[in-house]
Chains A and B, each alone.
Chain A
């Protein structure tokens, strides 16, 4: 902290007119709305009592991920030292790290072993940690406990049970997922892909058009047009439309994020309260059950005037007891596996922690590359083309792979490329 103060004085950027030895001012843009904003305000108030030498100023930013991303990029590109702390989506860390916008956090010797392995991997670039996992989000299979006794282990099982529920119980849909052309579609696909034993990227080589990839995409398409378990409308759906279908009791299965769990326990709105549980997505022989990894991380602006003060805030917010409070207040999953044995977490979360942990253990980060969002955009379009039957899965994936590889090669991240040039 002394160092932080020294830095502040040395750079001569202490607030004009203020006393020379005032508290280090650290800015933190983040959600200031609703329950999430309340929890954060409480935590920062406690931090202020603990560390009177640091003053944290909250900055309201848009909640929509792409808007927040755009804002960050504009700030950081302009070389702004403010904000000091950044809340990042899991797929942004490599992008910001490669651009040199955020600090390599290894200098602070974070205890990375205390976090889920996948969340650490997703936040590393060239083997160094650039952001601390704050809370974790995973894609999961919601299944109806009144229609079956156990969740399906394979995609074939799922299709059979779903068709049966449609035929026998008169359910409108067998399975619902997010099929609109947006990032959500890529997360769903990445779970099918893992389930069939494929991956999007292998180092600098695009592998999405492998036989496993084609099988995974064909399986998704067959669920719609051959088996009739996924409605065609799902190709325009985001998370909420699928939740509405499932909570109205119209579907036997739903692929969604943890947020839906607590919402569907509300008996006033939900017809399935108390009649569902969660599991990992199924897998095919030769693949392994896969959960797409999402969530938020905290990083520090590389131009920050007070990196040590900023680290103190990040370290405080990612402590076990703060994570438990976030779980209690907003139902977010801690990134520390040790917490899942705590009775306090069982009281805080709607989902039984053991179930949640079992799914998180299957979490796989989306490709960890600085150009992830650009790759994802290419993939979204071709996935959607195949699912809306404008193209065959193999042709669509081959096209996507060509474009993705060309992009990687162009920016020097392709196989045998010189890395990010840094």
Chain B
């Protein structure tokens, strides 16, 4: 007995030693920068105004953010962008996945081809979409005029509402394939005999989808939802390239405003406070998803 306990303890110690490098790495590259950012966020640290010093100012940066109309605007834009793009991408991705799940000639080619938008670097696709919508005589406007849909084409990027159209289109175009592939993987895990049983019971296609496909697809949907929401919430490069946050600050997301405060204006204290807020929100979102949808996830797995 005693010898066995000793061996167990030795083994536990060995285990700790073996995971120590991994733990240290995580502490160093994940936790340390995070804590550093929190520390910065409670100080006044403006790289361009060294004469102000670097005093501790408590929650002043956070209070400034909560009183800052540009911050609330950016947060609103981010939520809008996230809500619209994730909804569209999940809907379209689901349709695409169902289509690709059918047996048809050239299915492998289609599945590969669908991934192309996803494979193009975001900056490149952002430039492409900006080009399509640029000016009054861009490709999109020319098509709209020729189709007789508009007579006086708009300059998309100077309207605070219309500027969102190319941005959302570009994101949906790029990311729907990714969602579709995740869902396709989920679809292929569903046992075909379940559909057979449903058909024998006389279930319509819609009822099959509603009561067989959807519940069993839930884990895949959850994964897609978490990935996409967190990604969309941190949107930066796409908007940076397409609109720069304009006109005015009408399309500026929170990540762009943070970047702007931190790296353009070199306001390390304030920028860090914004970063911490973004971190807190994404963290809460992830926790929320796992709490409310994760229950379903474990049920279906069980």
Contacts and interface: CB of A to CB of B under 8 A. Distances in A.
Interface of A: 66, 70, 73-74, 77, 95, 98-100, 180-182, 231-233, 235-236, 370-371, 373-374, 377, 381-382, 384-385, 388, 390, 411, 420-422
A99 B51 CA distance: 6
B3 interface: no
Interface of B: 47-52, 134-136, 155, 157-160, 244-250, 260, 263-266
B158 A236 contact: yes
In the A-B complex, the 7 residue pairs with the closest CB atoms: A385-B248, A388-B247, A232-B155, A233-B135, A235-B158, A181-B246, A388-B158
Contacts of B246: 180-181, 384, 388
Name, among A99, A233, A371, the residue most crowded by chain B CB atoms within 10 Å (CB to CB).
A233
Given A181-B246, A182-B244, A235-B157, 6 more contacts: A73-B48, A98-B49, A181-B248, A233-B158, A235-B155, A385-B248
Contacts of A98: 49, 51
Contacts of A99: 48-51
A384 B247 contact: yes
25 contacts: A70-B266, A73-B47, A77-B50, A99-B48, A100-B51, A181-B244, A181-B245, A181-B247, A231-B136, A232-B136, A232-B158, A233-B135, A233-B158, A235-B155, A235-B247, A236-B134, A384-B246, A384-B248, A388-B159, A388-B248, A390-B160, A390-B247, A390-B248, A411-B49, A422-B51
B157 A236 contact: yes
Contacts of B157: 235-236
B52 A390 contact: no
Q: Main SS of chain B's interface residues?
A: loop
B85 to A, nearest CB: 23
Tell me the interface secondary structure of chain A in the complex.
Answer: helix
A385 B159 CA distance: 10
Nearest to A74: B47
Contacts of A70: 263-264, 266
A384 B260 CA distance: 17
Contacts of B266: 70, 73
A407 B158 CA distance: 28
Contacts of A371: 48-49
A377 B265 contact: yes
B162 to A, nearest CB: 11
B50 A100 contact: yes
Contact of B47 (A77, A100, A377, A388): A77
B21 to A, nearest CB: 31
Given A77-B47, A99-B51, A390-B247, A233 B136 contact: yes
A161 B211 CA distance: 71
Contacts of A384: 246-248
B248 A381 contact: yes
B176 to A, nearest CB: 27
A420 B51 contact: yes
Contacts of B136: 231-233
A385 B247 contact: yes
B251 to A, nearest CB: 11
Nearest to B249: A381
B207 to A, nearest CB: 49
